[in-house]
Amino acid sequence: MMSRFLHASKHNLKAYVPGEQPRGRKYIKLNTNESPFPPSPEVQNCLTAEVMAENRLYPDPEMTALRELLAKKLCVSPKMIMVGNGSDDILNTAFLAFAGEETPVAFPDITYGFYKVYADLYQLEKKIIPLREDFRIDASDYFSLDSLIAIANPNAPTGIALTLGEIERILQTNPDHVVLIDEAYVAFGADSALPLLKDYENLLVVRTFSKSRSLAGARLGFAAGSEPLIEGLNRIRYSINPYNVSRLAQRAGEAALYSDAYYVANVKEICRIRENTKTALEAMGFEVLPSKSNFLFTRKAGCEGEKLYSKLKERGILVRHFSQARISDFIRVTVGSEGDMRIFLENVKSVIE
Ligand code: PMP
């Protein structure tokens, strides 16, 4: 029942529905694109009793240590970095900062579901741009839009990536608006737009520690952009919650940045398992979109996506299904460990038989 206290402007708001985080029954969890690997040993050992005791004090609202590490890694100034409570926090702040009256927000019809939710929450005008027939983004659909543009690269839930050249054309044709490139999954094979930062003041790159750095539970993301964009984001952040990232998360993030070799090896392994899983699904007659992410988006003619999702769930395997036009016959499967994928494939085989 809707609270009579909820303001009328929010009565039609459809909140984001996150993927299930099951309690109780133990599932093979392939539904929210987490890493099958634990955080690095450095991360696992960084939360000492001493660090815990420091929680008496508020965290550094500037996240200085973390930003300096990130800046060094990305070869930019720390003034070009803002850290958030997951990349969702960054996206929220960016939608508030860079769109509003007379500045709509543009994004694909099939993409990360939160873009629409933020747009509706802030009552922004939306320009929803259909993916092409083959589920690709056509960059030319985003030229000269007079809008904030939000594009996930690779896109979710398709996994398909744009080239840097295509992103650069979007930046060039929208010089007076922010182009937000959400790189949640970029480590798994797409080209990052970070090298374009030096030439485009309107580029905001959004990244997360949730996927390739195995830290979904810590809630850590960041934005990299020109100093004016980061100043704008910080103005919003300091107007809502300057302590948006806990001491513990900041510590874990710093440790994660000292563990590159560990994470690079994990990403390589996930990509290898992804390609093997794709081949196995294709051998069973599935169509699998070309993924540059840590998930596969797949369907089989004559096989309902929702049914496949439910049958797999009954068998203890959680994948994601979206009841949305054009993609309701697909399931999205996070690439898990080799063992997880073996069990997933065995069960898919017996379900379709
Ligand atoms: N962007 C995309 C495209 C995503 O799929 C997700 C994960 N659901 C996020 C951003 C948010 O991730 P997080 O808040 O964990 O950084």
SS (H, E, C) the chain: CCCCCCCHHHCCCCCCCCCCCCCCCCCEECCCCCCCCCCCHHHHCCCCHHHHHHHHCCCCCCCHHHHHHHHHHHCCCHHHEEEECHHHHHHHHHHHHHCECCECEEEECCCCCHHHHHHHHCCCCEEEECCCCCCCCCHHHHCCCCCEEEEECCCCCCCCCCCHHHHHHHHHCCCCCCEEEECCCHHHCCCCCHHHHHCCCCEEEEEECCCCCCCHHHCCEEEEECHHHHHHHHHHHHHHCCCCCCHHHHHHHHHHHCCHHHHHHHHHHHHHHHHHHHHHHHHCCCEECCCCCCEEEEEECCECHHHHHHHHHHCCEECECCCCCCCCCCEEEECCCHHHHHHHHHHHHHHHC
Assess contact for 305 and 297: CB atoms under 8 A. no
184 CB within 6 A, ligand 1: yes
Mean pLDDT, residues 94-118 taken together: 98
156 CB within 6 A, ligand 1: yes
214 CB within 6 A, ligand 1: no
Question: What is the CA(222)–ligand 1 centre distance, in A?
Answer: 11
Mean pLDDT of the chain, nearest integer = 97
pLDDT beyond 90 at 81: yes
Question: What is the CA(150)–ligand 1 centre distance, in A?
Answer: 13
Question: What is the CA(347)–ligand 1 centre distance, in A?
Answer: 28
Instruction: Read off the pLDDT of residues 5-20 as tens digits, 9 standing for 90 and up.
Output: 999 999 999 999 999 8
152 CB within 6 A, ligand 1: yes
Mean pLDDT, residues 175-185 taken together: 98
212 CB within 6 A, ligand 1: no
Question: What is the CA(321)–ligand 1 centre distance, in A?
Answer: 17
pLDDT for res 335: 98
Instruction: Read off the pLDDT of residues 153-175 as tens digits, 9 standing for 90 and up.
Output: 999 999 999 999 999 999 999 99
- Show Cβ contacts of residue 240 under 8 Å, excluding neighbours closer than 6 positions: 93
112 CB within 6 A, ligand 1: yes
pLDDT for res 61: 98
182 CB within 6 A, ligand 1: yes
pLDDT beyond 80 at 99: yes
pLDDT beyond 80 at 1: no
pLDDT for res 3: 85
183 CB within 6 A, ligand 1: no
Ligand 1 atom with the smallest distance to the CA of 156 is: 3
Q: Which amino acid is at 39?
A: P
Mean pLDDT, residues 247-252 taken together: 98
Ligand 1 pocket test: which of 17, 110, 118, 182 has the largest number of ligand atoms within 8 Å of its C-beta? 182
Question: Dihedral angle at the C-alpha atoms of 276, 38, 333, 205, nearest 10 degrees?
Answer: -100
83 CB within 6 A, ligand 1: no
% of the chain beyond a pLDDT of 90: 97
**What is the Cα Rg of the chain in Å?**
20
% of the chain beyond a pLDDT of 70: 100
Q: What is the pTM of this model?
A: 0.97
pLDDT for res 5: 95
Mean pLDDT, residues 254-272 taken together: 98
Mean pLDDT, residues 314-342 taken together: 97
153 CB within 6 A, ligand 1: no
Question: What is the CA(214)–ligand 1 centre distance, in A?
Answer: 13
88 CB within 6 A, ligand 1: yes
Residue nearest to atom 12 of ligand 1 (CA): 87
pLDDT beyond 90 at 2: no
159 CB within 6 A, ligand 1: no
The residue with tokens 């979007």 is 170
Instruction: Read off the pLDDT of residues 20-59 as tens digits, 9 standing for 90 and up.
Output: 899 988 999 999 999 999 999 999 999 999 999 999 999 9
Burial class (CB in 10 A: 0-12, 13-18, 19+), 105: buried
